[in-house]
Amino acid sequence: MSLFGLGKSNKKKEEKNNHNEIVNTKVGTKIEDASILDKINMIQLTEKDLKLLKSIQPLVEANIDRLVEDFYAIVMKVDKLKAIIDNHSTVDRLRKTLRAHITEMFDGNIDQSFINKRLKIAKVHYVIGLEPSWYMGSFQSIHDTITHLTFKNIKDRRKLQAVLSAVNKILSLEQQLVLEAYERENMKKLNAQFEEGKAYLKNKMTSVSEGLVALAEQTQASVVTLSTNIREVNQTTTESSEQAILAKNYADDGQNKLRELLDKISVMDKYSRDMIESIHRLGESSDKISSVIHIVQDIAEQTNILALNSAIEAARAGEHGRGFAVLSQEVQSLAEQTKNSISQIHELISNSNLYKEQVIKSLKHVEEALMSGIATSEHTHEAFQNITRSIQQNSMTNMKVQEQMDQLVAVMNEIENASAIVTSSAEQLNEAAMA
């Protein structure tokens, strides 16, 4: 019993000494950064917690090699983490750094130097590409080993609970500081990338918008020129249609006049044929007159012979036939006059027949000319009909072209308006890119 009691007395004495040692330990928080103080207050990391951490620092230092070995035994099993270590450092060098780092966590003093070292670790993690998930996972090994050590070496349940709480708080603060710093570095890089991308995009937008403005202006100028040309073509087409209509009217008028000319030529041809027929009849009458004249001429010659015979007989009769001789002379004189007149008439008829032949010949030439004129006029009439049909077809084509040109002008007006809108939008985009 006494031994048991003595044992209890010594245990109480040891706990009292440890309590006094904890109370007298100089620890504290020397931080001016409000955000870090907020974190410390949020996890309720008190001075008592810092003293508890300081109290187990000797235990941590005594087992630091185990802590480090356990940590890297797990880390080196992950190929990605092993590759990061091999590329950027050595395990021996990292072991030394980790020893100092873990020991400082249990120093009981949180100052700017403590904070800066955690921030530096975060930057190193970011540079070498150690992701936060691996960092947090690796800390589980440290947490487990320290928990095991405290359970093994601290028998007082309340102290054990308080120490474990303090350990969790310091590890939480450690992770908050490192992860926040890591996130800041990440955001800094993202912001830099964003600014770089924004600058690149701005330059590209400026370049594209300037090109777009230039292209839009060129397009608008081309559209305006094309629209002007189309309007001119449309005006020309309209004038061509009007000229086609006018030409058709002229062709119709010419065709009508040609038809009138054909009618007149036909009438002239009829007159010419009638005249030839009349001349032929006149010739026939002249022939009949010539026959009568021949008869009269024969009678005159016979009368002349009879008068001559009468004169001879009167001369034979002497004084008794003198009166009859005078009468015979008168008859002979009349016969000679008749004969002379008949000769003149015959000559006139001959001349008339000659003139008739010339007139008939001329009339035949006129008739041939009229027939040729009629044929030519008919060909001309047919040509006029072809011209009229061609003009009508051309007029219809011009009307269709006119309609299409009107539609094209309307479309070009829409394109011109749309091009103006595109140019305005491109200028606004360029102004936005330059802003």
Checking if the pLDDT of 48 tops 80, the result is yes
DSSP 289-339: HHHHHHHHHHHHHHHHHHHHHHHHHHHHHGGGGHHHHHHHHHHHHHHHHHH
391-398 own/partner pairs: CB under 8 Å, 24+ apart: 391/244, 391/247, 391/248, 391/251, 392/248, 394/244, 395/241, 395/244, 395/245, 395/248, 398/237, 398/240, 398/241, 398/244
d(CA 183, CA 178): 8
225 pLDDT band (50/70/90 cuts)? confident
| Architecture in CATH of 217-434 | Orthogonal Bundle (1.10)
Q: What is the pLDDT of residues 320-364, one digit of tens each?
A: 667 767 777 777 787 778 778 778 877 777 887 787 788 778 778
- pLDDT score at 76: 79
61-67 own/partner pairs: CB under 8 Å, 24+ apart: 61/103, 63/145, 63/149, 64/99, 64/102, 64/103, 65/99, 66/145, 67/98, 67/102, 67/142, 67/145, 67/146
Checking if the pLDDT of 151 tops 80, the result is yes
Q: What is the pLDDT of residues 279-311, one digit of tens each?
A: 778 778 777 777 877 787 788 778 778 777 777
Q: Which of 47-51, 119-123, 188-192, 253-257 has the highest mean pLDDT?
A: 47-51
Mean predicted confidence (pLDDT) in 85-97: 77
d(CA 288, CA 162): 175
d(CA 187, CA 415): 48
Could you tell me the residue ranges of all domains in the chain? 17-186, 217-434
83 pLDDT band (50/70/90 cuts)? confident
Q: Which residue type occupies 104?
A: E
Residue matched to tokens 């015959």:
346
Closest listed residue to residue 181, CA positions, set 110, 127, 141, 137: 127
Between residues 312 and 391, the one the model is more confident about:
312
Residues with Cβ < 8 Å from 255, sequence gap 6 or more?
381, 384, 385, 388
What the block records as the tokens of 47 is: 């001075």
Q: How far is CA 110 from the centre of its chain?
A: 70
Closest listed residue to residue 140, CA positions, set 67, 87, 76: 67
Whether the Cβ atoms of residue 394 and residue 245 lie closer than 8 Å to each other:
no
- Which secondary-structure segment (H or E) carries 52? helix 47-55
Q: Residue 382: is it exposed, middle or buried by C-beta count within 10 angstroms (0-12/13-18/19+)? A: exposed
| Architecture in CATH of 17-186 | Orthogonal Bundle (1.10)
d(CA 433, CA 435): 6
- pLDDT score at 125: 65
- pLDDT score at 8: 40
Residues with Cβ < 8 Å from 118, sequence gap 6 or more?
174, 177, 178, 181
Q: What is the pTM of this model?
A: 0.47
- CA dihedral in degrees (413, 418, 423, 425; nearest 10)? 150
- pLDDT score at 19: 46
